[in-house]
């Protein structure tokens, strides 16, 4: 695996690979890789001969009181893990390469960013859309793979890629989970032993809601209340939101209909650590 640090070199490589008739898939990450990221790299191999993983902890997507400074970083470990998963190139620019002095652009995606993460983390999705647009312009891939774990982010990126005519296939890969159900995340390293044990309540709340839907529940508020009740069984948890919505546009009808594809979304604090998780469900017909 070769490490590339500049946009110019990345673009040149991309042009050369394309001239050789090779397909390129890109896996954007902020590093501190785990099995979830590795599954995205493996998945990328299904779409292209060449996989480029990007590693950049993007300051513009962190709020002023968020964890940019303490976000876990380990370049050597990331290189080894990416290579072991079959990554061909690691694009790892520094901050000035991505945001040189005088940088003044922004990318704002409306509507799909109005609620949930967009509401709780003002500016977060501007930063995500901006950096992903820049990474796309550096790597110029045919396809790019993102994890379902950041569900609203996947909607934002699909919208951005469509609106700005990137012509890149956006592929969403399922969330990888620990054996007890906790969604894999670089931020799980912040959890104390007790918080780590308690954190599986997010997965349990999603499962409870899914069971209720399987049992015939269609009322959005009732589904949300089931998630809240399960989450509150861990008194230390601070719920940010636990909501259900239509998966395509995050609309929130009072009642879901048979055949609707919905997403159950949770964000909650375990101590100082903010965790998110989600689950996709299709409302069954005939109940
Ligand atoms: O999901 C992430 O790790 C980040 O938001 C991304 C897409 C790499 C942009 O910085």
Number of Cβ within a 10 Å radius of residue 130: 22
How far apart are alpha carbons 146 and 242 in whole angstroms? 22
Q: What is the pLDDT of residue 287?
A: 61
The per-residue b/e assignment along 20-47, b for 16 or more CB within 10 angstroms, e otherwise, is eeeebbbbbbbbbbbebbbbbbbbbbeb
- For the annotated catalytic residues, the residue numbers are 37
Cross-strand bridge partners of residue 52: 26, 89
The residue whose C-alpha atom lies closest to atom 1 belonging to ligand 1 is: 29
Q: What is the pLDDT of residue 286?
A: 74
131 lines ligand 1 (CB under 6 A): yes
Does residue 165 come out as left (phi exceeding 0), alpha (psi in the -120 to 50 range) or beta? Answer: left
Ligand 1 centroid–CA 140 distance in Å is 17
Number of Cβ within a 10 Å radius of residue 95: 11
How far apart are alpha carbons 224 and 59 in whole angstroms? 33
Average pLDDT of the residues of the chain: 98
Domains and their CATH numbers in the chain: 2-173 (3.40.50.620), 186-277 (3.30.1300.10)
pTM to 2 decimal places: 0.97
Q: In what order do the strands lie in the sheet with 143-147?
A: 2-4, 89-91, 50-55, 24-29, 143-147, 169-173
Cross-strand bridge partners of residue 266: 242, 277
* Number of the ligand 1 atom closest to the C-alpha atom of 28: 8
- Residue ranges, the chain, pLDDT below 70: 287
Ligand 1 centroid–CA 128 distance in Å is 6
The residue whose C-alpha atom lies closest to atom 5 belonging to ligand 1 is: 128
């Amino acid at each position: 695996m070769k490490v590339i640090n500049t946009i110019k070199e990345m673009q040149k490589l991309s042009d050369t690979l394309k001239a050789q008739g090779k397909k390129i898939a890109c896996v954007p990450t902020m590093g501190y890789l785990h099995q979830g990221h590795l599954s995205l790299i493996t998945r990328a191999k299904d779409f292209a001969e060449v996989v480029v993983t990007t590693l950049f902890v993007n300051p513009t997507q962190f709020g002023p009181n968020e964890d940019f400074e303490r976000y876990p970083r380990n370049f050597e470990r990331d290189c080894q893990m990416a290579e072991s998963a079959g990554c061909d190139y690691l694009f790892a620019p520094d901050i000035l390469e991505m945001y040189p002095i005088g940088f003044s652009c922004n990318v704002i995606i409306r509507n799909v960013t109005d609620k949930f993460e967009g509401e709780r983390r003002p500016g977060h999705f501007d930063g995500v859309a901006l950096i992903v647009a820049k990474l796309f312009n550096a790597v110029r891939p045919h396809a790019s793979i993102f994890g379902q774990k950041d569900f609203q982010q996947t909607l934002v990126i699909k919208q951005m890629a469509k609106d700005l005519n990137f012509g890149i296939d956006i592929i969403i890969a399922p969330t990888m989970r620990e054996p007890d159900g906790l969604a894999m995340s670089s931020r799980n390293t912040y959890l104390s032993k007790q918080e780590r044990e308690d954190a599986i309540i997010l997965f349990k709340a999603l499962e409870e809601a899914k069971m209720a839907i399987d049992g015939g529940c269609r009322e959005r508020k009732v589904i949300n209340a089931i998630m809240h009740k399960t989450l509150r069984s861990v008194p230390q948890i601070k719920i940010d939101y636990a909501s259900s919505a239509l998966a395509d546009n995050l609309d929130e009808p009072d009642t879901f209909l048979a055949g609707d594809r919905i997403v159950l979304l949770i964000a909650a604090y375990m101590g100082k650590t903010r965790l998110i998780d989600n689950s996709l469900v299709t409302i069954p017909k005939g109940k």
